Structure 1
Amino acid sequence: MDKSRTPLRKWLLVLFLISLHQIQINAVQISIALHVTYKTAWGMLHKIRQFISQADEHEKLSGVIKAAVELYARKQHSSNHDSPKERSIVIACSSSLCSASYFKFKVIPSAHLNERCLLRSGAAAFARNYVSDSYVNHIIIQPLYRMADSRLLRSQYKRSIIKLNACFKGIGATHLQSYLNYLCFFLNHPCLDPHSLLYELTSLCLGRPLSNNVLLPLAE
């Protein structure tokens, strides 16, 4: 919000609308509600997604961790990367006796892929960046279609992606990670009422300045 020409009350109204509708509200609806241009509305939502992404970078998976490789925007009936929007993603969740499930969906850089298969370097990068040190050696990222004990994780991913795509049409590769982080924020706070979500969002956006590397995917 710093140095923004948009009034603070409109920023707070955006946070309020997000807390009410979660991923069911997009820039078109925000622009109408706030009487601002689509460009302004998209920019506000994008900056909020950046703050959510920044906060997610500080949260590590621990406890019982399940992870697998999934595809975003997969082209049906094709074994090749024919769809320009198709991306391989590590989907993961962790849970323990003391905490609820915590989800992370992270885009895999092409350097860590052999076609659709995750290389060891990619699995190591995910563990290094997103798993607590005490549990780095406990995580196994399953290959695509081998989801024997992670069926619920894949089901949650598919349901969430359907909702995401229904609201935000045509998500490109450039901003896909920030949308996935945005989606996971609400998956990770399923029991919060709108007031609590508003407090959480406001704390994220006012708590610390925005760093320059919040949207980096798996590190090289």
Structure 2
Amino acid sequence: MVYIFIFQRGVSMADERTITVTWKVSEEQLQLFSTEEACADMLFTAKWPDGFHCARCGHPHAYKITTRRLPLFECSSCHYQESLIAGTIMEGSRTTLRKWFHALLLISYAPCGINAVQLSGAIGVTYKTAWLILHKIRYAISKADASTMLSGIVRVNSALYGRPHNPSVNRHIQEQPLLVGASINTEGEPLYVKIKRVPDEYLQGRNLRPSGNQHFIQHNVESKTGDLECITARFSPRRFHRLLSVAKKAGQWINAAYHGIGPKHLQAYLNEYCYRLNLEFQGEAIFRYLTQLSAAAAPLTYPKLLRFPIIS
């Protein structure tokens, strides 16, 4: 089986052109993950890149128990048993590893994103399951982004998701103020980008309170950064237009793939966009990184995701 999707956005995350893009996951790529055993081997390597170590005592050897759908690993020292998917975003999931890895492949080869309707049809799961898979992966991405701070030369600019609906100082419900920050090189080109939705408590109408700026810096910029400049005035002549362009493209990407996102889950989609863009800056393939993040991120349940959406 070969999956083919057509999008109306550029292949490159940084590309401003509007073109028709065809991408596909080939039969050869899918064959690499055509069995549960092959997917289990890949997950084992991602979860324990240096070999098994017991979560309880740290012992490096285990017995493999294969009487269940997914293998168990019993520590040969303390006899603690651990499932292969324990401590990963797949924990508690009844979806097969093969479908999980096919989802990771499809997400990785979709530069313009893939929504839950497309994913559910591609891998043969319900919409709810596809939506949860995507949000669990975005949760892993968000955890990775939170551990990476902007450093060196850092520039921050206010931006907006959602088209302005009126010229007054009052904010429309569909307008979501953002702060977009980046580590840049000496030519002003972004090296690593973060886009964060501004929480309502840091807003006064459309305007950002000084505490909102400090909140962004505290959580996203290294404390020892000496070259830091923030522009929050909407029409300042000193605005960083490259950052405004990144925020604009992020909004276009979200609207094209997901047909617009409300404030509750907006941050998760912004984090996905930045993750893809930052890997593109580095010239890295997304699939390997997504697999590693999926194996390392803590479990997330559907009720918890609904109660506590990703906010940073």
Matched, 1:148 2:238: yes
CA distance in 2, matches of 1:85, 1:178: 17
CA RMSD of the aligned region, Å? 2.4
Change (3 A) 1:192 1:66: closer
* 1:62 and 1:96 in contact (8 A); partners too: no
Q: Does 1:183 align with 2:273?
A: yes
Aligned CA distance change for structure 1 residues 170 and 120 (closer, same or farther; 3 Å): same
1:103-153 deviations in whole A, cap 9, x for unaligned? 111111111111111111111111111000111772323322225351111
Shift of 1:100: 6.0
Larger-Rg structure: 2
Structural mapping, 1:104-119, within 5 Å: 104-119=194-209
Q: Quick check: which one's helix share is greater?
A: 1
TM-score by length of 2: 0.63
Do structure 1's residue 47 and structure 2's residue 142 form an aligned pair? no
Q: Distance in 2 between matches of 1:37 and 1:197?
A: 25
Identity rate of aligned residues, in percent?
Answer: 35
Q: Which piece of structure 1 moves more, 67-76 or 104-113?
A: 67-76
**Relative contact order higher in (CA < 8 Å, ≥ 6 apart):** 1
Tell whether 2:230 aligns with 1:135. Answer: no
Provide structure 2 residue ranges, at least 5 long, that are not aligned to the other structure.
1-89
When residues 69 and 147 of structure 1 are mapped into structure 2, their CA distance, relative to the original with a 3 A threshold, is farther
Instruction: Please state whether the residue corresponding to 1:40 is helix, strand or coil.
Output: helix
Kept in 1, the 8 Å contact 2:231–2:239? The answer is no
2:151 maps to amino acid = S
Structure 1: 5+ residue stretches without partners: none
Q: Hey, what does 1:35 align to over in structure 2?
A: 124
Determine the structure 1 residue equivalent to 2:111.
Answer: 22
Taking the aligned partners of 1:31 and 1:58, their CA distance within structure 2 comes to 31
Of the candidates 197, 200, 204, which is equivalent to residue 289 of structure 2?
200
Which range is displaced more, 55-64 or 204-213?
A: 204-213
SS of structure 2 residue aligned to 1:190: helix
| TM-score, normalised with respect to structure 1 | 0.88
Aligned to 1:209: 298
* 1:90 paired residue number: 179
Q: Which residue of 2 aligns with 1:103?
A: 193
Per-residue deviation, 1:192: 6.5
* Alpha-carbon displacement from aligned partner over 1:34-78 (angstroms, at most 9, x marks no partner): 111111111110110111011111010011111111111133443
Aligned to 2:92: 3
CA deviation map 1:147-174 (0-9, x unaligned) = 5351111112212311221110231111
> Is the partner of 1:21 in helix, strand or coil?
coil
Please state if 1:121 is matched with 2:211.
yes
Counterpart of 1:127, as a letter, is I
For 2:245 and 2:198, how far apart are their aligned partners in 1? 20
Aligned residues: 215
- Give the letter aligned to residue 174 of structure 1: K
Q: 1:78/1:119 Cα in 2 relative to 1: closer, same or farther (>3 Å)?
A: same
Residue pair 1:73, 1:83 contacting (<8 A) in 2 also:
no
Shift in Å, 1:22: 3.1
Partner residue, 1:57: 146
| Between 156-165 and 139-148, the greater mean CA deviation after superposition | 139-148
